[in-house]
Amino acid sequence: MGKTVSIVSGVDQAPPVPVAGDRTVQVWIGGSAGDGIASAGEAFAKVCSRSGLQLLAYNSYQSVIRGGHVCMHVRVGEEKVYTHGDDHCHFLIALNADTAARYADRIVSGGGVLFNADRVQVKPEQLALGAQAFGLPVSTMASSLLLQNTVALGALIRLMDLRMETLVGVIQDTFARKSKMVIEENLAAAKAGYDYAAKHFPPPRFTLKQTNKRRLLMSGNQAIALGALAAGCKFYSAYPMTPASSIMHWLAAHAAQYGLLLKQAEDEIAAINMAIGAGHVGVRAMTGTSGGGFALMTEAIGMAGMTETPVVIVSSQRGGPSTGLPTKTEQGDLFQMLGASQGDFPRMLLAPRTVEECFRLTTEAFNLAERFQCPVMIASDLLLSEHQETIDGLDLNVPIDRGELVNGHGVEGEYKRFAVTPTGISPRAFPGHEGTIFVAASDEHGEDGVLISDVFTDPPTRARMMEKRMRKVETALGELPDPMMWGQADAQVMLVGWGSTYGLIREVIQRLAGEGITANTLELTHLWPMKGDAIGTLLRQAKRLIDIEGNFTAQLARLLSSETGVRIADRIVKYDGEPFTPGPVVKQIKEMLRHG
């Protein structure tokens, strides 16, 4: 019973009409890689953020450095923006003809396309009904073709009735390290665009109420990196891999100032082994990668489990299998993370859902890794890692719990690094400490660390050590937060997802409410060890269950089935590389509810 429905972007497009009551404004900036889309998009996002508006920005790009097609989606509103929105925009900045041709029919009535009239033509028949062509004669307005994005940005600021002085500030900050000439050129181009729009284009429409509220504009990876620093991470080793690389980039730029050693390793195997080496001697260490690099790390994850060494591993998922979709999002690695490495050992998997949670759960990951002396994984994905969002603020003063240590304390009798304890946790000592010498071994060992792997018959010790380590899972389950239900308890349907689909599910619940359908959702951030009984209770209370995931086989639903005994039969999945948008999901949920 039940069915799995796959949603594919770009198929069965609805007309470019926002849902009733939606006051957000969507801006798309498209062109070839190298056209300056990200810089224009980020500048626009920053202007909005500094205008007291809220936004979410998602960049859809290809694995090419020059050429190809790239499109930045920015959605701005007066309230919290949960997704990059449905497949339409109010304003399109087309930095090449291809972009204009692709999206001219996706512009809502009253909106328009901004383009360089010297290079691109937009014919009325290409445009959606009521959309306008806003041609800009860039060659008469700026000193270089390279400035066409800045000219368009200036025009857009006018069309949305944002303030030119805000854009001036953003340009000055963005190019602060460049020459004065670069700043002057960009300011002149922006002003020319603004003035041209004021003179030749219709007065602002789709305006939003600006406020003095100041927020932070941040990506998931930046929040992870910041969380690591706040938690006292001193060592980050990694090998470049999209979409995890921007964690490395941000940390590299701040390493010297904030006392972090960033080591680019020769491969992911070295990266995680370095982090474990650093963790062994008492430094909080992290590594980050995506699915392919994570696959290389798996043996060492088991070693961290066996040697009871704390290590934090970020895996930002992208489309698989194999090299798959290097620049596209997916949630397809749940079982790779839960199944990584041979044998049974305690591990933890945290799945942040928002930028704030990227920060908060990263700080928690370090505490858990040291408290339970085991590998702690943070599951992100391209959408969560790379999208930018306005958030209200972050408290950098986070609790730091180093777990049970003998450092600085005398040890009575022989120190046993892997002492059998009721909690399974054995107090750690760091090399350099007097009186606690031990060897940590990836072979099975006794409480004192001495190998038993080659001892002919010591099954009792093996069993005792296995039970000691696994007892940490029971201890952790007693300490980890309980799963929660969010929304109306007696809702018609409970939506279940994990990670980056949080925003989608929140917006879908709002829209369903607008149509008289009540929905709630399961709040799930600590995926492993899983509180199966508590989650099962919540699932059983639901009138109807629908699972929403960005992978082919509904991996979370399968995990919940094994851990709670509740099978979620109705599943909405997506594995085309692009993130979910709310419209098709709302439509599908209504369909599923209609058919009982």
Question: Site residues for other proteins, window 426-485 (CB under 8 A)?
Answer: 430-443, 450-451, 454
Q: Return the H-helix or E-strand segment holding 522.
A: strand 519-523
**Which of 78, 105, 118, 299: binder of other proteins (CB under 8 A)?**
299
Under the criterion CB under 8 A, does residue 275 sit at the interface with other proteins? yes
In this structure, which long-range contacts are made by residues 14-17, counting pairs with CB atoms below 8 Å and at least 24 apart in sequence? Answer: 14/86, 14/87, 14/583, 15/128, 16/87, 16/88, 16/89, 16/105, 16/106, 16/107, 16/108, 16/109, 16/128, 16/131, 17/88, 17/108, 17/109
Q: How far apart are CA 388 and CA 9, in angstroms?
A: 21
- Which of the residues 562 through 591 are near other proteins (CB under 8 A)? none
Q: How far apart are CA 173 and CA 39, in angstroms?
A: 12
- Which of the residues 40 through 59 are near other proteins (CB under 8 A)? 49-50
Residue closer to other proteins (CB basis): 215 or 471: 215
Closest distance of CB 134 from other proteins, Å: 30
Residue written as tokens 């700080």?
Answer: 363
Cα separation of the two ends of the chain: 11
- The one segment of 71-79, 80-88, 228-236, 539-547 that binds other proteins by CB under 8 A: 228-236
Residue closer to other proteins (CB basis): 76 or 485: 76
**Which of 121, 144, 258, 344: binder of other proteins (CB under 8 A)?**
258
Under the criterion CB under 8 A, does residue 305 sit at the interface with other proteins? no
* Residues 306/462, Cβ–Cβ less than 8 Å: no
> Binding pattern to other proteins, positions 369-408, x when CB under 8 A?
------------------------xx-xxx-x--------
97: left (phi over 0), alpha (psi -120 to 50) or beta: alpha
Closest distance of CB 424 from other proteins, Å: 21
- The one segment of 190-198, 215-223, 315-323, 463-471 that binds other proteins by CB under 8 A: 215-223
Burial environment of residue 436 by CB neighbours within 10 A (0 to 12, 13 to 18, 19 or more): buried
Q: In which order are the strands placed within the sheet that holds 216-219? A: 132-136, 107-116, 89-94, 25-33, 67-77, 54-60, 388-391, 216-219
Closest distance of CB 329 from other proteins, Å: 23
Distances (CA, A) of 480 to 148, 195, 529, 531: 52, 57, 9, 9
Under the criterion CB under 8 A, does residue 72 sit at the interface with other proteins? no
For residue 147, the one-letter residue type is: L
Closest distance of CB 281 from other proteins, Å: 4
> Binding pattern to other proteins, positions 237-256, x when CB under 8 A?
x----------------xxx
- Which of the residues 495 through 534 are near other proteins (CB under 8 A)? none
Closest distance of CB 215 from other proteins, Å: 8
Sign (positive/negative) of CA torsion 206, 207, 209, 215? positive
Residue closer to other proteins (CB basis): 392 or 533: 392
Closest distance of CB 362 from other proteins, Å: 12
Under the criterion CB under 8 A, does residue 342 sit at the interface with other proteins? no
Residue closer to other proteins (CB basis): 115 or 294: 294
Under the criterion CB under 8 A, does residue 276 sit at the interface with other proteins? yes
Under the criterion CB under 8 A, does residue 169 sit at the interface with other proteins? no
* Residues 550/330, Cβ–Cβ less than 8 Å: yes
**Residue 571 token pair:** 């599943």
Alpha-helical regions (H) of 308-372: 334-339, 355-372
- Which of the residues 173 through 192 are near other proteins (CB under 8 A)? none
Residue closer to other proteins (CB basis): 267 or 482: 267
Q: How far apart are CA 163 and CA 172, in angstroms?
A: 15
Under the criterion CB under 8 A, does residue 332 sit at the interface with other proteins? no
Which residue, among 586, 424, 409, 428, has the nearest Cα to 515 in the 3D structure? 586
Total of residues contacting other proteins (CB under 8 A): 71
Residue written as tokens 């399109």?
Answer: 92
Residue closer to other proteins (CB basis): 134 or 438: 438
